[in-house]
Chain A
């Protein structure tokens, strides 16, 4: 069945880059997403990438997609304390943002 996997924890020093990795199984996914969830809050869509793209950059965020290996990553440059959150990788099931399958989430913590 469909599955999205990511590591549970990541700790980085403030000012460094954070790289959160994800693997997925459904090769027909058209869209892949990164969501951010801060404590006690809902999900915020950070960015998404279309499956025919290799990279997408948006300010401090860079998404890399390796479709052959079904590997997605999110790089956060100059990580700040406000970036502390859980980051969910997700894939669309099919050709639109219909059903979305989420990974387990990576808890990013920032150390001074």
Chain B
């Protein structure tokens, strides 16, 4: 049973370009979370999605960032017009349907975004 998949593992963009990060949750999981890890910091929640729905986007920057989790295919985190401050590791986590507060989230290996 494959774990959470993220691609690309490393992404380099120049300022002003767009970055698209993909996350395929574990088989059978319908909840996806995105977290950002800035250098020397802990992970910060960005957004929580279920299939075709954004449930909680309280951690998303108001501009340039968007996320989706379509009925078919991976979840996408999209960053438009990237700036150097967007350089970070972006982690996706998934959990099963009906998962509760005590349930584990399963993390992917992350995408390390570098903005030149």
Query: A and B bound?
Result: no
